[in-house]
A and B are shown apart, each in its own frame.
Chain A
């Protein structure tokens, strides 16, 4: 049997991912997280008399803390994999990726393990995030002066 024929055979037996279902789950969960964030911002603004920008910064810190804590407590990975892309929102997903790497490598030493592998997954987000910010910044200067 040729390789192409075999790959066709494999395809026949590989269950198809239900992309629509995944998208709906991600949409709903992502929306819920956004809603939750908005509630927290409202509480911070009204009960703690914070400025809007300050409230959003605090919200980020709270989301990072919650995602990291629940990763460390060991149930966030199940949530993330069940909610598909819904919890891969930049803040919670980023916090989850660094915390999970940190948990894995802390026993391999603070420098050789934790330090060097902390951004194992998040490194790409950092690099390309900064790079695209840089490029967009330059474009902004060129276009808008």
Chain B
């Protein structure tokens, strides 16, 4: 049992930055968009640090907060030793809690931040995450300019950063509970088919969440998975049907929705921890509809060494339930 209902924790605001490919995708009104991958820095790694720093700075100034107003900064990303988040955090005079669960990191950050705030009367927590397509390519795949032919199941790491502010003050977005998922390995070894790697973990956390909260699938207006991609999304729906006998009609996958179908370079859709919050804050929550949403961050927990050693890839998914009040 790793589910919990939370009391009076709300998302107050968020600030998003998106990269050059995301800019051409289906969402047009990110807070900041980048024209190139360098963002005025010398290397892509430094560019990602600046991206995180920029979104946190902008979020704080938008909310008229100074560093000492924020009790905790929770952040994670895909870089080795989550150093991007740590380097970004060194610019802020705020206690930092670094987390990692690959592309489920954003949801994990929400859970950690909410858990910290749960028994407090007031307080502010900032959750941040980022990913950078070229950093991920360099770290997990081939050199950036190397043109390895890719299978159609490949997902494209999104470039962007999102920071969001959690408070105890009432707003129209309530974080009402969470479920922490199990690490699940269904024997898939293909690192270019991460949707297939992560779908069983997503299914498991959804089923566990519904059981532990004593709810039905229909109690949710939307179940939003993070970055299964278009093919992984279909696998999830079918897997839920065959393994658990559940029909999931109100499903969307942020990775599949982020880009236009005509953007061929993105293959099966977006991946990376930032895919989910980019879509959530800039599309889903902007519709301002009264709804209950289950967000499911999905993370493929591999590194290149284990893939080379031909081990199958474990995955994890965490779920957070949001109540949106129009």
User: Is the beta-carbon distance between B146 and A6 smaller than 8 angstroms?
Assistant: no
Interface residues of B in 178-212 (CB under 8 A from A): 186-188, 193, 196, 200
User: Is the beta-carbon distance between B186 and A7 smaller than 8 angstroms?
Assistant: yes
At the interface, is chain A mostly helix, strand, loop or mixed? helix
Complex contacts, B234 vs chain A, CB 8 Å: 13
Given contacts A14-B193, A15-B153, are A100 and B238 in contact (CB under 8 A)?
A: no
Residue A77, interface by CB 8 Å: yes
User: Is the beta-carbon distance between B143 and A84 smaller than 8 angstroms?
Assistant: no
Residue A127, interface by CB 8 Å: no
User: Is the beta-carbon distance between B145 and A100 smaller than 8 angstroms?
Assistant: yes
Given contacts A14-B196, A15-B153, are A6 and B239 in contact (CB under 8 A)?
A: yes
A-B contact count (CB 8 A): 89
Chain B residue at minimum C-beta to C-beta distance from A12:
B238
Residue B235, interface by CB 8 Å: yes
User: Is the beta-carbon distance between B149 and A107 smaller than 8 angstroms?
Assistant: no
Interface residues of B in 69-94 (CB under 8 A from A): none
User: Is the beta-carbon distance between A96 and B147 smaller than 8 angstroms?
Assistant: yes
User: Is the beta-carbon distance between A6 and B200 smaller than 8 angstroms?
Assistant: yes
User: Is the beta-carbon distance between A6 and B143 smaller than 8 angstroms?
Assistant: no
Within the complex, what minimum Cβ distance (angstroms) separates A45 from chain B? 32
User: Is the beta-carbon distance between B196 and A121 smaller than 8 angstroms?
Assistant: no
Residue A81, interface by CB 8 Å: yes
In the complex, A104 Cα to B235 Cα: how many Å? 35
Given contacts A10-B196, A15-B152, A104-B138, are A77 and B187 in contact (CB under 8 A)?
A: no
Give the number of chain A interface residues (Cβ < 8 Å): 37
Interface residues of B in 195-250 (CB under 8 A from A): 196, 200, 231, 234-235, 238-239, 242-243
Complex contacts, B310 vs chain A, CB 8 Å: none
Within the complex, what minimum Cβ distance (angstroms) separates A22 from chain B? 8
Interface residues of A in 48-102 (CB under 8 A from B): 71-72, 74, 76-81, 84-85, 87, 96-97, 99-101
User: Is the beta-carbon distance between A10 and B42 smaller than 8 angstroms?
Assistant: no
Within the complex, what minimum Cβ distance (angstroms) separates B205 from chain A? 16
User: Is the beta-carbon distance between B153 and A14 smaller than 8 angstroms?
Assistant: yes
Residue B286, interface by CB 8 Å: no
In the complex, A84 Cα to B151 Cα: how many Å? 11
Which residue of A3, A79, A120 is within 8 Å of B143 (Cβ)? A120
Given contacts A17-B152, A100-B142, are A10 and B188 in contact (CB under 8 A)?
A: yes
Residue A9, interface by CB 8 Å: yes
Residue A103, interface by CB 8 Å: yes
In the complex, A74 Cα to B43 Cα: how many Å? 16
Most buried by B among A74, A78, A100, A105: A100
User: Is the beta-carbon distance between B138 and A81 smaller than 8 angstroms?
Assistant: no
Given contacts A6-B186, A17-B151, are A103 and B242 in contact (CB under 8 A)?
A: no
Complex contacts, B152 vs chain A, CB 8 Å: 15, 17
User: Is the beta-carbon distance between A10 and B149 smaller than 8 angstroms?
Assistant: no
Complex contacts, B200 vs chain A, CB 8 Å: 1, 6
Within the complex, what minimum Cβ distance (angstroms) separates A108 from chain B? 8
User: Is the beta-carbon distance between B186 and A103 smaller than 8 angstroms?
Assistant: no
Mark interface residues in B287-311 (1 if CB within 8 Å of A CB, else 0): 0000000000000000000000000
